[in-house]
Amino acid sequence: MNLRITSRHWSLSTVLCLFICAGASTVLAQDTTVARTPPMGWNSWNHFACKVNDQVVRAAADTIVSSGMKAAGYIYVNIDDCWEGKRDDVGIIRANEKFPDMRALADYVHSQGLKLGIYSSPGPKTCAGFEGSFGHEEQDAQTYAGWGIDYLKYDYCSFRGDVAAQIAAYKKMHDALVKTGRPIVFSLCQYGMDRVWAWAPSVGGNLWRTTDDISDDYDRMAYLGFGQKGLERFAGPGHWNDPDMLEVGNGKMTSDEYRTHMSLWCLLAAPLLAGNDLAKMSPETLAILTNSEVVGLDQDSAGIQGRRVAQEGPLEVWVKPLADGSKAVGLFNRGESIMPVTAYFQDVGAGESADVRDLWARKDLGVFKGQFTTQVPKHGVVLVKIK
């Protein structure tokens, strides 16, 4: 992150390129062989950062299975930065001493019915200063495929270049991945610069970060999550906006705040990559991550990203239309004390009279006419399905 260059300068070539790429996306849009619904899994970065190693990844895979997370849909076990070693004489990347045998690790993860993800950069160095893929794209893609990798997060970091150069660099790696013949989810990470959402599908992106890094902090999470307003038209099956990984269970937010985080990410059809220490997770954290009715919104087959339909100061109502015609509705209170929040059925696209079910409480609340009003705690949410 410290190595990144942020250029928000819009040159003529930038504007031209965005125009051309917007057109190109209809032709080149990522197919839905992978990531038909937002990817779900775990990533090492938010909790372990550079302390990740083979044991940590195996333990995460074990817990995903034993805890019921796999059954809830969490499939990808993703190694983030800090796995990289040196290149050999012919330029082939090797893992460092913390990952003695990447192929064996992939076999282990696959034997659990899970998939393995890895991380690199289009620049010469990753954000933590390890080897990036610059100049070695094809070699690296082949190496990953040979190991059995199923997901690549490709992080801008030390890359230098305007938007046209970024597009070329991300496309280069995508083409290299395609050439391996192995289905590999392609995750762009360049922090939402240069309207990435407008061109990421055209370079094969299955997901693209729309923001700089999340942290385990309510204000930061809320700034990123609620800031997705307006990006909904860029997401759909096979290509998703990514407001960064989950912090649920990392300890610095309240339960209401973590439920807000999870509810918002599911309404946004965001990738759900848990970022906590799974082996030490509390029953409450597990319950937040695996509530099937909440996760079901994220994974809904229609693949529609939710949008904000009403705001009154710190009170917001967000809606995600679902494949069965019902609406998932989040009533959020970003304020500092408990307050009533109202969802008007006209705003959410429901009929005059509708059934309301509370998804966190897993409870039918009855039939309501015209509107639904409920008390929402400070920084909290009431998440309902309206039918």
Q: Catalog residues that contact ligand GLA under the rule CB under 6 A.
A: 1, 45, 80-81, 126-128, 155, 189, 213
* Active-site annotation holds for 217: no
Of 62 and 213, nearer to ligand GLA (C-beta) is 213
Backbone angles phi, psi at 94, to 5 degrees: -115, 150
Give the residue nearest to ligand GLA (CB): 127
At closest approach, how far in Å is the CB of 352 from ligand GLA?
45
* Active-site annotation holds for 140: no
At closest approach, how far in Å is the CB of 2 from ligand GLA?
9
String of DSSP letters for 111-133: HTT-EEEEEE-SSSB-TTSSB--
Which burial class, exposed, middle or buried, applies to 40 when counting CB atoms under 10 A from its CB (0-12, 13-18, 19+)? buried
Of 194 and 316, nearer to ligand GLA (C-beta) is 194
Catalytic residue, from 31, 213, 347, 358: name it. 213
Backbone angles phi, psi at 19, to 5 degrees: -65, -50
Catalytic residue, from 54, 140, 150, 155: name it. 155
Q: Which of 227, 309, 303 lies closest to 266, judged by CA?
A: 303
At closest approach, how far in Å is the CB of 260 from ligand GLA?
21
At closest approach, how far in Å is the CB of 78 from ligand GLA?
10
- Rg for the chain (alpha carbons), in Å? 21
Of 252 and 362, nearer to ligand GLA (C-beta) is 252
Nearest-10 Cα torsion for 60, 65, 66, 69: 90
Between CA 371 and CA 385 the distance in angstroms is 13
Of 275 and 303, nearer to ligand GLA (C-beta) is 275
Of 132 and 303, nearer to ligand GLA (C-beta) is 132
Buried-exposed string 284-302: b where 16+ CB fall within 10 A, e elsewhere:
ebbebbbbebbbbbbbbee
At closest approach, how far in Å is the CB of 122 from ligand GLA?
13
Question: Known catalytic residues?
Answer: 155, 213
